Amino acid sequence: MAESQSSVSDGAAVKAAGASGTVTSVAGSVVDVRFALDALPAVWNALEVERPGAQPLILEVQQHLGRDTVRTVAMQPTSGLARGAKAVDTGSPIRVPVGEAVLGRLMDVVGRPLDRKPALPDTVPRWAIHRPAPTLVRQGRADEVMWTGIKVIDLLAPLPKGGKAAMFGGAGVGKTVLIMELIRTMVEAYAGISVFAGIGERSREGHELLLELEQSGVLARTALVFGQMNEPPGARWRVGMSAMTVAEYFRDERGENVLLLMDNVFRFVQAGAEVSGLLGRLPSRMGYQPTLASEIAELEQRIASAGNAAITSIQAVYVPADDFTDPAVAETFSHLDASIVLSREMASEGLYPAIDPLVSTSALLDPRLIGPEHYATAQDVRRIIAHYRELQEVIALLGIDELSRSDRAAVKRARRLLRFLTQPFQVTEAFTGRPGRTVGIAETLAGCRVILSGEVDEWAEGDFYMVGGFDEVRAHHAVEAAP
């Protein structure tokens, strides 16, 4: 609490009186500003540049070029900005509105509304976006499961409450749909606060998400912060920190659990690489910025439980060219408690959510945390699907009849398990015509055990596809079996 109080001052949007400087150079998003000798603003301080007929341009100080000049990165387009314009030091980093007033609102990186609703009043508290992570003494353990109602996640990669989970996948495998479903189910199940960070998103996707949340009735408990694809790299680089700051307010000041969703963390890294290039830093491996590790750590380490409340983060991570050895992807992996990997091969087969059951993992998949029954079932499911994957090449070459009896039985059960772990989502109901399903972990475990036992080896595979619990499988089979 002391950390939060020290950075809020009196809680209102009060700006410290600061020195004023003059813009001396504008090169795209990079703006140089000259101040009086030895009166330079601190690194990360925000500067405001007044523009006729428009809102002030916000600049963030990145470098001190000498005793009188700073190099900054703009958070909005700099078109029309001329040399000689006056820039005023606000005396603090970028500050964004926080609290109840931001719920149900869509904001940009500096807290300005994007939803065509009235601007937030000056009385709304504002916090600086650069904040320290909770100390180890304040942090709690992320060993409690946050159940999602999505069968394959709860069974094989349970999400930790107060931890970090990420969904990795290339383009078009269902990351954003999964994020949208998680927003709906988590707000409804846990009645907490959701904060969504749209990093490098298309404006169409933001509009669709806003409408979806409004129609589902969860917008009133959700804050959205967007740095769109067409915005300067500085906005896309800092929007994750703006959303994090909104989430920290509810955790630290209100004692509420917060679900922080980020889509897409790779765009955050990409924006940082753009900024790094604009600032003249030499690139590192594969053209990424030399500060890649520290930038990701600065964001990820703030996601934690503190006191009696927690921030739980679920992040979408685009995998360029499906290359999981990419430095941005590999560095993100190192901070996670759970990794959900989406498979293009499964998506092409229509197995949605296209989560690969063999490479998706969680630190909570431990018999001491989830119980021996859950752990044993998850391991058996993985083992039989792994065996099926090993046999696929043999089946393609020689046919399934050339397998031994035990191998044929394993293939049947694995194929039925893969289909049972598919699930219709509420957010896709309008497109698929299938009502969405939420399934408890007990139902999931019971269904998997029935399939593993061999009782339903002769049932049609279609009975298991896109259903909820096993009762629905039985109902489908009864209809098919009826004369």
Residue type for position 16: A
Closest among 195, 160, 155, 203 to 179, alpha carbons compared: 195
Residue with the two structure tokens 């003494």: 137
Q: Exactly one of 151, 164, 175, 238 is catalytic; which is it? A: 175
Supply angle C-alpha 154, 158, 161, rounded to 5: 120
Residue 153 DSSP symbol? H
> Contacts for 171-174 with beta carbons within 8 Å, 24 or more apart?
171/318, 172/344, 172/347, 173/342, 173/343, 173/344, 173/347, 173/354, 174/342, 174/347, 174/352, 174/353, 174/354
CB 378 within 8 A of CB 444: no
Q: Which of 60, 201, 253, 300 is catalytic?
A: 201
| In the block, residue with structure tokens 């408990």 | 221
205 is annotated as an active-site residue: no
> Is 175 part of the annotated catalytic residue set?
yes
Rounded Cα gap, residues 71 and 390, in angstroms: 56
CB under 8 Å to 445, separation ≥6 — which residues? 155, 373, 374, 377
Judge whether 181 counts as a catalytic residue.
no
Give CA–CA dist 239/242, Å, rounded: 5
246 near 83, Cβ under 8 Å? Answer: no
- 278 three-state secondary structure: helix
Question: What letter does residue 314 receive in the DSSP assignment?
Answer: E
Burial degree of 294 (CB within 10 A; 0-12, 13-18, 19+): exposed
What are the residues whose beta carbons fall under 8 Å from the beta carbon of 471, sequence distance 6 or more?
A: 443
Angle at 18 between CA 17 and CA 24, to 5 degrees: 150
Q: Are 344 and 177 in contact (CB under 8 A)?
A: no
Q: Which of 67, 86, 117, 202 is catalytic?
A: 202
Question: Which residue type occupies 264?
Answer: N
Element spanning 182, H or E: helix 175-190
d(CA 19, CA 53): 23
Instruction: Report, as residue numbers or ranges, the catalytic residues.
Output: 175, 201-202
